[in-house]
Structure 1
Amino acid sequence: MSTSDQETAAGGDDAGDRWESVRDLPPSAKLVAKVLEYEDTLTQSQLTEETLLPPRTVRYALSRLEDAGAVESRFSFSDARKRLYTLDL
């Protein structure tokens, strides 16, 4: 069995590569990414509630995740003042 076959069989190939862009980010960004993985799409205020992090820390984490290409954001159709964040891994 080749190395790539072993990784695929162990489920490591997809999962390992998927989180590569997040691996070197601060713990707050990793927490925000993990919450988005479970909750799918949230606003910044919802992320603040779910992570129990201060709003400023969530803003910083989201900007780092966006810079890394791990999070996608779009305007909310129901309230254009809010942005919706989705994990893009």
Structure 2
Amino acid sequence: MSASESFRQESTPRGSWEDVRDLPPSAKLVAKVLEYNETMTQQQIADETLLPARTVRYALNRLDDENVIDSRFSFSDARKRLYTLDIES
């Protein structure tokens, strides 16, 4: 286990599909798209789901509130963030 993984386990518990159950449909759709595509930018999620960028942003914020996604800055373009699903198995 890396230092960042152990820090994450101590600081923030990982979410589960139970946490996603009561979220809006847009957040559920974004979670499912991330489940199948692993890592995506907000624009890629919007293109894949056909949701407006504002709705994707709202869904990502809701998923982040439930600790079911992880985000980091893109190395190729620091203006973008990369999102991955982070749900306990």
Is TM > 0.5 for Structure 1 vs Structure 2?
A: yes
In structure 2, stretches of 5+ residues that fail to align are: 1-14
Percent of aligned positions with the same letter in both sequences? Answer: 74
> Using CA pairs below 8 Å that are at least 6 residues apart, which structure has the higher relative contact order?
2
In structure 1, stretches of 5+ residues that fail to align are: 1-16
* Aligned-residue RMSD, C-alpha: 1.1
Per-residue displacement from partner, 1:28-53 (whole Å, max 9, x unpaired)?
00000000000000000000000000
TM-score, normalising length: structure 1: 0.80
SS at match of 1:22: helix
Equivalent-residue separation in structure 2 for 1:83 and 1:18 (angstroms): 22
After TM superposition, which residue ranges in structure 1, 4 or more long, deviate above 4 angstroms? none
SS at match of 2:58: helix
Equivalent-residue separation in structure 2 for 1:41 and 1:86 (angstroms): 5
Based on CA coordinates, which of the two structures has the bigger radius of gyration? 1
TM-score, normalising length: structure 2: 0.80
